[in-house]
Copies of this chain bind each other. A is one copy, B any other.
Amino acid sequence: MSGPVAARGDDAVESPRRAALTLDRILATAIALADETGYDALSMRPLAERLDVVPMALYKHVRNRDELVDRMVDAVLASISPDVEPGTHWKAAARRRVLAARGVMLRHPWMWRAIETRTSPSPVVLDQQEAMIRTLREGGLSVALVHHAMHALGSRLWGFTQEVYASAPPPTDPQALAAAAAMLAQRWPYVLESAASVMHDSDSIVGPGCDDETEFEFALDLILDGIERLHETGWSPSR
């Protein structure tokens, strides 16, 4: 599998023989590094150090940093594999697909930063799009409606959204919370009312700018229901 000198010796405390540098190993290490230290901390030199190679060795396997990130994104996107039983209604199937993507994104919070810099669609991206479009088309939706639906889903297809609300969690200290509320009350009473109405548990937050599970599913269902409604009422493009 790896190089000719690999053999065993995996459990040695300090093996003098390091595993052969492959693209797979680079990507796995880079993804782990990004998971641990965040997207901003991902750079060529620390990555090379963790792989126990000289930085330039990476350039044998990727052209540059952008390509590295693209391949990392592809590797993660490829791991999205919802099992949708044949015959499932298109709306349920679409929902399952999106929530499967979201599950993967929750494990890799840097993805929403990395995916946005992508320029052209890779085969992996096209595969995911193809699967969703086919789901909707085989559900009977028109070509035009499916096209709009894909745009309306936007990044939700990949399991994340960009948020309007600040990502900073509310202060846990009751006194600090009261002070913050008092400041809001003067100039932003409606924001305060809205913020106070719901106390989300912040466990399921993907990352800065991304929302929690309840809100994600609410918006997802809102879009899918809207598409279904247009489909059932025989919507067709106005132009």
Residues of A that sit less than 8 Å from B by CB: 113, 116-121, 123, 125-127, 129-130, 133-134, 137, 143-144, 146-148, 150-155, 157-158, 161-168, 184, 187-191, 193-194, 197-198, 208-209, 211, 215, 218-219, 222-223, 225-227, 229-230
Contact = CB atoms under 8 A, between A and B. Distances in A.
B219 A222 contact: no
Given A119-B166, A146-B194, 19 more contacts: A116-B162, A116-B209, A129-B191, A130-B187, A137-B193, A143-B197, A147-B197, A147-B198, A150-B165, A151-B219, A154-B161, A154-B211, A155-B162, A155-B163, A222-B223, A222-B226, A222-B230, A225-B226, A229-B229
Nearest to A117: B208
Given A218-B151, A219-B152, A123 B187 contact: yes
A152 B194 CA distance: 14
A230 B153 CA distance: 19
Contacts of A187: 123, 126-127, 130
B222 A150 contact: no
Nearest to A239: B214
Contacts of A152: 215, 218-219, 222
B215 A143 contact: no
A106 to B, nearest CB: 17
19 contacts: A113-B116, A121-B165, A121-B168, A127-B188, A129-B164, A129-B165, A144-B198, A148-B215, A150-B194, A151-B164, A151-B165, A151-B211, A151-B215, A151-B219, A154-B163, A155-B161, A155-B163, A223-B223, A225-B226
A126 B191 contact: yes
Contact of A168 (B119, B154, B166, B197): B119
B194 A133 contact: yes
Contacts of A144: 197-198
Given A197-B143, A226-B223, A164 B150 contact: yes
A90 to B, nearest CB: 13
Contacts of A229: 229
Best-buried of A137, A166, A191 by chain B (most CB within 10 Å): A191
